[in-house]
Chain A
Amino acid sequence: MKLLELILDWKMAWFGLIFLGSIFNAIAFELGMLENSSEITYICYAFGFILGLVAKLRGTWTWKTNS
């Protein structure tokens, strides 16, 4: 139960890492950006994670002004 609570407490960071990261990576792939540099994948997931982490720390997503 503690683990579930911990996971849920960090749900925005997970959403950023897994959901947004996957979307950014897929868009990069569609744009052909991964052909020469596979490191772009890490950047995509890191960017998603940072967005999620900022949201977790702010208590709300960056595009929202109130929680």
Chain B
Amino acid sequence: MDMENEQLISEEFTFAKEKEIAKSFSKSFQWEMIAIGLGQVSVWFILWPMVIYSIIPLWAGFLIATTCACFAYLPSHEAQHGNYSRGNPKMKWLDGFVGHLTLITLAIPYHLLRVTHMKHHAYTNNPIKDPDYNNAHGPLSSVIKNSLDGSSINYEKYLEVFESDKAFTKSFNKAVPLALFFRASMMVLVVLFPLETMLLWWLPAKIGTVYTTVYFSWYPHQDTGEGRYKDTRFWSHWIPRFFNHSMQLHFIHHLHPGIGHFDEPKAIEALKPFMIARKVPGAEKIPDRISYNSLINIT
């Protein structure tokens, strides 16, 4: 936040107060998200024998696998922010455990998404340093196309951008063997079970990646600039928020990543005056009550 603007904000809406309120919503143990992450990947694993032994048809398996893929990212996202361990070193294993397992459905290594996501938070909407910049800007059609052909997660160029950041390059390189393992697994499976591999893993992972990119990157950051209170917006459209992981509320996550996903509606209700005072894009349209509100906008 610019110092000049900071002085213009009344004492009622200071950053210290905002942080204190946000902190009160950053304590819950996120068992729901763990259940979603481990649940979807378990269902996805069970699908394989069920389809191979013709217990369910392949088309049904494809629909279920695609749903699993759409649910795969968010539990890992909470893990990337350490929101399961919440700073407890003894619980840190849980972040990695959930983060790795839930991403099997999308066939993307956890370490890769974790390090690039941290840079996305640090440099949101910076055309050079934000690894998600191309996923958040430009026409929706090209964002979808890039997600389908794999360019949306082609983060290799950021190894050069952050070459002096040893922690970044170390984590990035840690992801490489797992990425190779995913590819090799798919190559072996496709020889044994070609259509099953395509319709239970490859295509659902593509669709899940498109879904995640569109709702987690493109919608929340569309037409926004750089700066703590400017880089993510409140938005709404005709789809009820429960179908897009409530990404209408993503701005609060960018301001306070420690707030658990299911605590965001209550946190926003409490922080709404701060958001309006800080001129968060779209803040004036935030309803007074968000819980169970579908946030539909058909205008």
Interfacial chain B residues near A14, Cβ < 8 Å: 187
Size bin of chain B's contact surface: 10 to 19
A residues 20-67 near B (Cβ < 8 Å) are 22-23, 25-27, 30, 61, 63-64
Decide yes or no: A18 and B195 within 8 Å by CB, A61-B149, A64-B149 being known contacts. Answer: no
Tell me, rounded to whole Å, the shortest Cβ–Cβ distance linking B123 to chain A.
Answer: 24
Size bin of chain A's contact surface: 10 to 19
CB atoms of A19 and B190 under 8 A apart:
yes
Decide yes or no: A19 and B195 within 8 Å by CB, A61-B149, A63-B149, A64-B149 being known contacts. Answer: no
Query: When A and B form their complex, which 6 residue pairs have the shortest distance between CB atoms, in order from nearest?
Result: A26-B194, A22-B194, A22-B190, A26-B195, A18-B187, A19-B190
**Residue of A18, A22, A25 ringed by the most chain B CB atoms within 10 A:** A22
- B55 lies within 8 A of chain A by Cβ: no
Which residue of chain A lies nearest to B176 when distances are taken between CB atoms in the complex?
Answer: A8
**Residue of A15, A19, A64 ringed by the most chain B CB atoms within 10 A:** A19
B residues 185-215 near A (Cβ < 8 Å) are 186-187, 190-191, 194-195, 197-198, 202
Which residue of chain A lies nearest to B183 when distances are taken between CB atoms in the complex?
Answer: A11
Bound CA–CA A27/B194 (angstroms): 9
Tell me, rounded to whole Å, the shortest Cβ–Cβ distance linking A40 to chain B.
Answer: 14
CB atoms of B186 and A19 under 8 A apart:
yes
Tell me, rounded to whole Å, the shortest Cβ–Cβ distance linking A3 to chain B.
Answer: 13
Which residue of chain B lies nearest to A61 when distances are taken between CB atoms in the complex?
Answer: B149
Interfacial chain B residues near A26, Cβ < 8 Å: 194-195
| Known A18-B190, A22-B194, A30-B195; further 9 A-B contacts with Cβ < 8 A | A14-B187, A15-B187, A19-B190, A23-B194, A23-B195, A23-B198, A27-B195, A61-B149, A64-B149
Bound CA–CA A26/B190 (angstroms): 10
Pairs A–B under 8 Å by Cβ, sample size 26: A11-B183, A14-B187, A15-B187, A18-B187, A18-B190, A18-B191, A19-B186, A19-B187, A19-B190, A19-B202, A22-B190, A22-B191, A22-B194, A22-B197, A23-B190, A23-B194, A23-B195, A23-B198, A25-B194, A26-B194, A26-B195, A27-B195, A30-B195, A61-B149, A63-B149, A64-B149
Tell me, rounded to whole Å, the shortest Cβ–Cβ distance linking B7 to chain A.
Answer: 46
Interfacial chain B residues near A27, Cβ < 8 Å: 195
Which residue of chain A lies nearest to B150 when distances are taken between CB atoms in the complex?
Answer: A61
Bound CA–CA A61/B195 (angstroms): 21
Interfacial chain A residues near B202, Cβ < 8 Å: 19
Interfacial chain A residues near B195, Cβ < 8 Å: 23, 26-27, 30
Interfacial chain B residues near A11, Cβ < 8 Å: 183
Tell me, rounded to whole Å, the shortest Cβ–Cβ distance linking A45 to chain B.
Answer: 11
Bound CA–CA A23/B190 (angstroms): 8
Tell me, rounded to whole Å, the shortest Cβ–Cβ distance linking B62 to chain A.
Answer: 14
Interfacial chain A residues near B190, Cβ < 8 Å: 18-19, 22-23
